[in-house]
Amino acid sequence: MRLLLVEDDARIARFVAKGLREQAYAVDVVATGEDALYQTAINSYDLIILDVMIPGKNGFEVCRELRRSGQRVPVLMLTARDSVEDRISGLDHGADDYLTKPFEFRELLARLRALLRRSGELRPAQIAVADLVLDTGAQTVSRGGRTIPLTTKEYALLEFLARNAGRVVGRAEIAEHVWDESFDPFSNLIEVYVNRVRRKIDIHGAKPLLHTRRGAGYFFGVVAEGAAESREAEAPHARAKGNAPSRKSHA
């Protein structure tokens, strides 16, 4: 999941971003309303955490412009202003939820999970593909009853693939939802992590689940015997820079 955090207090922004990244979220951080609108125009986000009191256009104005432009991305507003009128104003401007400062980080995570569950697609607490099971709350993975240890980024990649099981997802789509704006589209980082995850989940004679579709991307799920598919592990230098898929600029 990729989030945009709009917060002008550098200390709070660092604390929240660090905590979210430890929970396997990819996070972009900006400090002004204008920067928030620019980032949402060039990137696809799963959720926006929006402070009200930010320089330039405030959070209410940013939220209103997002809705006017047709963006339906869930918005959680953060503010130290906790009056009923302020909460009503935030919701009337298009926010989906409202959290007052100071707040417990656990409550922020719970509100994010709740918003993501009702953001237009079913996000179950557990995802099962064949005999592989992901517990999205505990962020644990097991296959055939055996726990599989994963790093935070490996888990984020596997969860995205599992949520999109049964269809091919390309590198650009993976980069948009699993990595933040610091990702280099010409790097082989996605291939490296795909191979790491594959080595961990497709072992001990288990039926392969993570398949490479050359020229298209990756397919997660069980492939019927004889189906055309490729699982070759890409070497770090396998993809030439000129063949890297295009991705929106984050400059």
Quote the DSSP letter at residue 7: -
pLDDT > 60? residue 250: no
pLDDT digits (tens, 9 = 90+) for 59-83: 999 999 999 998 889 999 998 776 6
Which of 4, 73, 62 lies closest to 33, judged by CA?
A: 62
Residue partners of 139: CB distance under 8 A and separation at least 6: 23, 24, 155, 159
Token match 């397919």: residue?
219
What is the per-residue pLDDT for 227? 52
Instruction: Give dist(CA 98, CA 241) in Å, integer.
Output: 43
pLDDT digits (tens, 9 = 90+) for 12-29: 999 999 999 999 899 999
Cβ–Cβ < 8 Å for 153, 117: no
pLDDT digits (tens, 9 = 90+) for 215-247: 899 999 988 765 544 444 443 444 443 444 444
What would the mean pLDDT of 113-125 be, rounded to a whole number?
A: 70
pLDDT > 70? residue 120: no
**In the chain, beta strands by DSSP E:** 2-6, 26-30, 47-51, 75-79, 97-100, 126-129, 132-135, 140-143, 146-147, 168-169, 210-213, 217-220
pLDDT digits (tens, 9 = 90+) for 162-208: 999 999 999 999 998 999 888 888 899 999 999 999 999 998 778 89
* Cβ atoms within 10 Å, residue 242: 6
pLDDT classification of 123: cutoffs 50, 70, 90: low
What is the per-residue pLDDT for 225? 62
Cβ–Cβ < 8 Å for 234, 189: no
What is the per-residue pLDDT for 180? 87
pTM: 0.69
CA 222 centroid distance within chain:
24
Residue partners of 129: CB distance under 8 A and separation at least 6: 162, 165, 209, 220, 221, 222
Residue partners of 45: CB distance under 8 A and separation at least 6: 2, 3, 4, 28, 39, 73
pLDDT digits (tens, 9 = 90+) for 23-62: 989 999 999 999 999 999 988 899 999 999 999 999 999 9
What is the per-residue pLDDT for 116? 84
**In 151-216, beta strands by DSSP E:** 168-169, 210-213
